[in-house]
Amino acid sequence: MKKILIGVLAALALAACSTTPKQEAAAPVDERTPGATAPGAATSGAQTGSVAGANQGARNPLKDPGSILSKRSVYFDFDAYAIKDDYKSLLEAHGKYLQANRNAHMTVEGNTDERGSREYNIALGQRRADAAKRMMMLSGATEAQIDTVSFGKEKPKNPGHDESAWAENRRDDIGYRGD
Amino acid sequence: MTRLLMRTLFAFCCAAAFSAHAQLTIEIIGGGATTIPIAIVPFAGESNYPLGVSGIVGADLSRSGLFRLVDPGGVVPRPARAEDVRYGDWTGRGADAVVVGSMVALPDGRTEVRFTLLDAVKQAQLASFSYVVPPAQFRATAHRIADVIYEKLTGDVGVFSTRIAYVAKQGTRYELLVADADGYNPQSIVTSKEPLLSPEWSPDGTRIAYVSMENRKPVVYVQSLTTGARQLVANFRGSNSAPSWSPDGSKLAVTLSKDGSSQIYLIGADGGNAQRLSTSAGIDTEATFAPDGRSILFTSDRGGSPQIYRLTLGGGAVERMTYDGNYNVSPRFLPDGKGFVFVRRDSGRLNVALQDFATRQVQILTQGSLDESPSVAPNGKLILYASEVGGRGILAAVSSDGRVKQRLTATASDVREPAWGPLQK
């Protein structure tokens, strides 16, 4: 619940002051997080939609906070790379967008929490990015449209050392070319 | 005191101020079961030099945890040669071994450093060497002398002359450094605003392979320590990481995700084509070559959880090595090939462990909560690893019997990703 609230607040803040579409809601540590959204934002899209109308970015569905396509993060369970049900509709929407826009290209960046081997975490993050890619390909994206890379545990969005920080860091971030 | 002075002096001389902050200070936390009592007599003529030699020899030996320094104070006159030593002076103080020596300036500016190691109990000479070196080589000479003493008295090769590599992180700045095994003389190899990790020494100690995220993805570089020139070795689509040198230095095992999942490939140390070594539907990574080059150990989740496997090269047979626990990662062979160290997670704690191939017996060597990235000294006696104290990244070392413990900290940086270099040729 708290997470959703934070997500809404973050999205509101983003929408309210966003004439520069690149502005980020949070995570000053992760300087180039594509279209950063807080965890839970994916499930709060409907609530934020109402304030997005005046936004210049609304013409581009990728940047319209009211569009599910503006949601760019997918979160994972500990040591897991299965896409959770919460994020399937988000990935389907991006897959369909890629299908409808064959010139569009994205990179999915996989991340892990800070626990465990740096190298194993790079592989785990890669696996998370690849899992998202596979789901988007099932929805119509082509292989060539999606690059996947991993930062492992090297670029945590939340520098904390507790479960809420870890949950935020077990994440895929989607970035479109030209974002 | 002189040590401190020298260290300060060094900080001023050091080209990059950051490197000075990243210099390691070593603290000994535990000692060996038995320690060899040894008296190191200050070398004759040593007081003429701001940086002596005998003090560094003593510091090396005592840091190993296997020696106990016996105070040579009060023995007058101080012996400088074997024939000057009255053995009773030393056995009376409990010393089993005595080191005497001298430093004599030569007309060309160099100095002759001589030392003799004596067995005080058997009243016999064990070793005697002389080195003609410029002052810049005094530390290196002291380490060489400590290596000779260590080998004569323990039977194992000394590693005081070796170097280590590690990554220091200060704020958002990453620096890969190479330093002497005692933490002195840190040299910056590469700096980046993006993460640097997984440094690995080439077997001849002239190059280091590492992973850099400077291109917004992990790629593998090989950099020459002599020229500083670096080469992009693996930059395929997806992630490129976990380099490990083949024993002949011609190839690297790397983890690439270019074909759909993280798998292990063999690639030339200059780059080129990648030949796939492992085949699984899951994650295969963290390859490390056996000293004989015939097999690799690696981490794989093919069995449902990350475990360590051994792949015989050529034949392709794969054997699972670890069974206890659901997270066993980061294997590194012991130099004699008889076992390996790795990281085990148990009840949320990550610790360095050692497993013997023949008995399959596992010994947990460390007690931290987040111990990772083990790297074995070339004599197999110490394992350097990354740990954490009070939220700060530090390096630590533990002896392969778990008894001797050292902590290596840097003043203003998180330090991590240690890699112990090879023996000096």
Q: What CATH number does the domain containing A98 carry?
A: 3.30.1330.60
Would you call B218 an interface residue with chain A, using a CB distance cutoff of 8 Å? yes
Of A119, A151, A161, Cβ closest to residue B242: A119
DSSP-derived pairing of the beta strands B67-70 and B36-40: parallel
Would you call B237 an interface residue with chain A, using a CB distance cutoff of 8 Å? yes
Q: Could you tell me which residues come within 8 angstroms of residue B180 by beta carbon, excluding any fewer than 6 positions away?
A: B139, B143, B163, B164
Put simply, the answer to whether B330 touches A117 (Cβ < 8 Å) is yes
For residue range A121-148, list pLDDT tens digits in order. Answer: 999 999 999 999 999 999 999 999 999 9
Of B217, B260, B285, Cβ closest to residue A123: B285
Put simply, the answer to whether B373 touches A126 (Cβ < 8 Å) is no
pLDDT of B288 higher than 50: yes
Put simply, the answer to whether B350 touches A124 (Cβ < 8 Å) is no
pLDDT of A57 higher than 50: no
Query: How high is the pLDDT of residue A27?
Result: 35
Query: How high is the pLDDT of residue B34?
Result: 81
Of B198, B213, B261, Cβ closest to residue A119: B198
Instruction: Encode burial over B239-276: b for 16+ CB neighbours within 10 A, e otherwise.
Output: bbbbbbbbeebebbbbbbbbeebbbbbbbebebeebee
Query: How high is the pLDDT of residue B395?
Result: 95
Give the number of beta-carbon pairs within 8 Å between A and B. Answer: 99
Put simply, the answer to whether B370 touches A115 (Cβ < 8 Å) is yes
Mean pLDDT of the residues in chain B: 92
Residue B20's pLDDT band (boundaries 50, 70, 90)? low
Interface test with A, best of B167, B211, B239, B307 (most A CBs within 10 A): B239
Q: Distance between CA A119 and CA B256 in Å, rounded?
A: 12
Query: How high is the pLDDT of residue B21?
Result: 63
For residue range B105-157, list pLDDT tens digits in order. Answer: 999 999 999 999 999 999 999 999 999 999 999 999 999 999 999 999 999 99
Domain span including residue A25: 2-176
Query: How high is the pLDDT of residue B8?
Result: 36
Q: Distance between CA B116 and CA B99 in Å, rounded?
A: 6
Chain A CA closest to residue B306: A120
Query: How high is the pLDDT of residue A18?
Result: 35
Q: What ranges do the domains of chain B cover?
A: 35-154, 163-420
pLDDT of A49 higher than 70: no
The CB density around residue A8, as the number of other CB atoms within 10 Å, is: 18
Query: Top-level CATH class of B35-154?
Result: alpha beta
Q: Distance between CA B162 and CA B377 in Å, rounded?
A: 9
Put simply, the answer to whether B255 touches A122 (Cβ < 8 Å) is yes
Into how many domains does chain A fold? 1
Window 124-143 of B: residues touching A by CB (8 A cutoff) are none
Query: Top-level CATH class of B163-420?
Result: mainly beta
Query: How high is the pLDDT of residue A40?
Result: 39
For residue range A105-124, list pLDDT tens digits in order. Answer: 999 999 999 999 999 999 99
Put simply, the answer to whether B257 touches A130 (Cβ < 8 Å) is yes
Q: Distance between CA B7 and CA B19 in Å, rounded?
A: 13
**Residues from chain B contacting residue A126 (CB–CB below 8 Å):** 238-239, 257, 261-262, 283
Structure tokens at A39: 């965890």
Q: How many Å lie between the alpha carbon of B29 and the closest alpha carbon of chain A? A: 25
Residue B19's pLDDT band (boundaries 50, 70, 90)? low
Query: How high is the pLDDT of residue B291?
Result: 97
pLDDT of B9 higher than 80: no
For residue range A31-45, list pLDDT tens digits in order. Answer: 333 433 444 333 333
Chain A CA closest to residue B197: A118
CA angle B324, B326, B332 (to 5 degrees): 75
**Distances from the Cα of B303 to the Cαs of A83, B81, B351, in angstroms?**
20, 63, 21
Structure tokens at B404: 């001797």
What's the N-to-C CA distance of chain A in angstroms? 30
Residue B424's pLDDT band (boundaries 50, 70, 90)? confident
Window 372-411 of B: residues touching A by CB (8 A cutoff) are 372-373, 391
Query: How high is the pLDDT of residue A35?
Result: 38
Alpha helices in A58-100 (DSSP H): 88-100
Burial bucket for residue B172 (CB in 10 Å: 0-12, 13-18, 19+): exposed
pLDDT of A7 higher than 60: no
Put simply, the answer to whether B283 touches A120 (Cβ < 8 Å) is yes
For residue range B322-357, list pLDDT tens digits in order. Answer: 999 999 999 999 999 999 999 999 998 999 999 999
Q: Distance between CA A85 and CA A44 in Å, rounded?
A: 15
Put simply, the answer to whether A127 touches B261 (Cβ < 8 Å) is yes
